[in-house]
Structure 1
Amino acid sequence: MQPSTRPAPVDVPRAVLELLRGAETVTAFTGAGMSAESGIPTFRDAQTGLWARYSAADLATVDAWSRDPALVWGWYQHRARLARASEPNDGHIALATLAERCTVGIVTQNVDDLHERAGSNVTAHLHGSLFAPRCRHCGTRSLRADDADAPAPTGDPDAPDPEALRQEPPMCVHCRCEVRPGVVWFGEPLPVDEWGRAEAAVLAADVVLAIGTSGVVYPAARLPEIALATGIPVVEINPDETSLSEAATACWRATAATALPALVAALNAH
């Protein structure tokens, strides 16, 4: 007899199920662990290929842009191509499905578009988006989310040659200054509008789900703290213990792609 390939059923912790069963409004606060299950590497965990060759300090800062905008722009376009080649995982799809049952707000630290491609409306991209470049001078949003006509870097797709990666950034159609990646670099403040929407979504929630986030990147990590301080329960979904774990109302040691489909199935079964 051939062994079954069907995955084993996942038990939803009773405390988590009880908190979500009566919730009319849920805010999902998602971090890099959510996208990692779709194959998108994180700054903290990936130590090979492209991410080992270039550190965050090399390319994700204003100073890096000032030193070598062609390298920084090319690197982010490469990241955008990697994100486009990835697919939403079962966790992304489950959050979109949960929205059929209750109001779901999504506040993400991720700069990809996997939530949107899964069918969700994102309330706030706290750290910007790979697909929303803007003029470095006037802030005008560029219609060119990426340079589709530019050839992809040659050689190893995960660690392209630096010269193959370089790409001159386009010019703003209004002021003719360089268009920069639409992400928040280290040392930059979060966009005021995005933070306002994120905070409002957290305060309007009956339950906050903190999914795949390390809880150490501030000020984004303040959002679960704000919820807890106002009496809103926070459920942490993460395979690893984090700085949020001790304070969270409930913790579920599982990945997003495992836990969220099980949660939605359990809620729909009752």
Structure 2
Amino acid sequence: MSSALVPSGLVDALRKARRVAILTGAGISAESGIPTFRDALTGLWARFNPEELATPEAFQRDPKLVWEWYAHRRELVERVEPNAAHRALVTMEQHVPKLTLITQNVDGLHQRAGSQNVLELHGNLARVRCFHENTVIPSWEDTGEVPPRCPDCGGPLRPDVVWFGENLPADAFEKAVEAAAQCDLFFSIGTSGVVEPAASLTRLARQMGATVALINLDVEPRDVPPLYQIHGKAGTILPELVQRAWPERT
């Protein structure tokens, strides 16, 4: 990759930053082979619209169908590995005094790569919670029933993810807002920037005076500080950015 894709001003901003906030979306995981919600489903699921399965109403109508759809998604995630973009963010966290990683993804790839300070705005596929009591359930008896039952109340278990029409976890979002408001440098990586309320974090960071970098395949390139728009794959751009910021340590 030509280093021209990574503006020197952004390299300097990263090297000098004391507080960095990063928002990641489906694009960063797509480079590991995880389909986004905009991708057409394949195989047995080709006749379904994922946005129609990811709702509380769909689960109430057909809990077995929704549970099996998410089991399929978990299997996809288990077969892939974190990519170069995930690993570059781990390196960045090791060099920046205060880094907060805010993700809309539910695949856990940031944690598997080694990131420590991760705020999950949309939950995690690896966890389940009770549909009735909304509590995370670490284990349950496997009776073969689909979906399995909550060991406490007997209600159905559901994925611990945020469905369409549901609120984001308040604690995680409050911490995300704080990180965006206080950062020197804000990255929006692999996300469209239009889904609220997560999209408001980028605006907040700009309003509070942070340098902002958008890295996505859907942006028009712009190199005018304090806003950088870099068109390209995160798995190519982030390793280059980190290597140029700390060449003696990477």
TM-score over 0.5 for the pair? yes
Residue 58 of structure 1 is matched in structure 2 by 52
Give a deviation string over 1:70-119, Cα, whole Å, max 9, x none: 01011101101111111000000000011111132110000101000000
Residue 214 of structure 2 is matched in structure 1 by 236
Match of 2:36 among 24, 31, 42: 42
Question: Aligned partners of 2:225, 2:61: CA distance in 1, in Å?
Answer: 42
**Unpaired segments ≥5 residues, structure 1:** 1-7, 151-166
Structural mapping, 1:139-218, within 5 Å: 139-144=134-139, 168-218=146-196
Counterpart code for 1:77: A
Cα contact 1:238–1:252 (8 A) shared by 2? yes
> What is the Cα deviation at residue 144 of structure 1?
4.2
Counterpart code for 1:135: C
Question: Aligned partners of 2:174, 2:114: CA distance in 1, in Å?
Answer: 23
Question: Aligned partners of 1:131, 1:63: CA distance in 2, in Å?
Answer: 22
Q: Secondary structure at the match of 1:82?
A: helix
User: How many pairs align?
Assistant: 243
Normalized per residue, the structure richer in strand is 2
Match of 2:197 among 195, 219, 244: 219
Structural mapping, 1:7-156, within 5 Å: 8-11=1-4, 12-44=6-38, 46-49=39-42, 52-102=46-96, 103-144=98-139
Q: Normalised by the size of structure 2, how large is the TM-score?
A: 0.89
Q: Secondary structure at the match of 2:161?
A: coil
Cα contact 1:70–1:168 (8 A) shared by 2? yes
Q: Secondary structure at the match of 2:72?
A: helix
Question: Aligned partners of 2:41, 2:147: CA distance in 1, in Å?
Answer: 26
Question: Aligned partners of 2:156, 2:105: CA distance in 1, in Å?
Answer: 24
Q: Normalised by the size of structure 1, how large is the TM-score?
A: 0.83
Given the superposition, is the C-alpha separation of residues 81 and 32 from structure 1 closer, same or farther in structure 2, using an over 3 Å criterion? same
Counterpart code for 1:125: E
CA RMSD of aligned residues (A): 2.4
Given the superposition, is the C-alpha separation of residues 245 and 10 from structure 1 closer, same or farther in structure 2, using an over 3 Å criterion? closer
Counterpart code for 1:254: G
Cα contact 1:95–1:120 (8 A) shared by 2? yes
Superposed structure 1 runs of 4+ greater than 6 Å apart: 244-248
